[in-house]
Amino acid sequence: MSARCTPIRSAHDRWVATRVLLVAVLLAGCGSSGSSPAATDRPAPPVVVVADDYSYRPATLSTTLPVSVRVDNAGTLAHTWTVVSTPIERELDLVPGLVIAEATTEPGQSATIDLAGLAPGTYQVVCAIPGHISAGMVGELVIRGS
């Protein structure tokens, strides 16, 4: 048993050790290039909302600014994620002047909108596709103060 643990230094072993060392040096060189921007320089990734047939996940999106929202349509129908300035109860009340941000998506597609211009507060979100508000496709956006 103990003979199996005895180190053997053949030419092949030395060749393998040299290769491992070479790869380690190359990897270390890549890591110290310093040409890529620091993590803090990158814009924050978008917050994701999934639109399904007649619902949003999460129904209430709570976030802080600055933020962009990516809407992923996982349903079989077109959907919008439409932020309105005043809560509405019926589709008839959805007039263009109330819309302050909107992402429209086809099934299997995504759309991203920038919400940097919104003030902190609670906003109603609806799907502007005819019939979807009455089907319950209503959500909420909460922008917390920093």
Please confirm whether the linkage preceding 96 is cis (ω < 30° from 0). no
- Specify the residue, 37 or 130, whose C-beta has the smaller distance to Cu ion: 130
- Specify the residue, 67 or 129, whose C-beta has the smaller distance to Cu ion: 129
Which amino acid, residue 4? R
Q: Could you tell me which stretch among 3-11, 33-41, 111-119, 126-134 binds Cu ion (CB under 5 A)? A: 126-134
Query: Considering the rule CB under 5 A, would residue 128 count as an interface residue with Cu ion?
Result: no
Q: Are 85 and 100 in contact (CB under 8 A)?
A: yes
Query: Considering the rule CB under 5 A, would residue 132 count as an interface residue with Cu ion?
Result: yes
Query: Considering the rule CB under 5 A, would residue 125 count as an interface residue with Cu ion?
Result: no
Among 61, 72, 79, 105, the residue binding Cu ion under the rule CB under 5 A is 79
Q: Could you tell me which stretch among 11-19, 37-45, 100-108, 137-145 binds Cu ion (CB under 5 A)? A: 137-145
Q: How far is the CB of 92 from Cu ion (least distance, A)?
A: 16
Say which residues have a Cβ less than 8 Å from residue 142's Cβ, sequence separation at least 6: 60, 61, 62, 63, 121, 122, 123
Q: How far apart are CA 22 and CA 57, in angstroms?
A: 48
Q: Could you tell me which stretch among 11-19, 55-63, 97-105, 120-128 binds Cu ion (CB under 5 A)? A: 120-128
Say which residues have a Cβ less than 8 Å from residue 120's Cβ, sequence separation at least 6: 65, 143, 144, 145, 146
Interface with Cu ion by CB under 5 A: which residues? 79, 127, 129, 132, 137
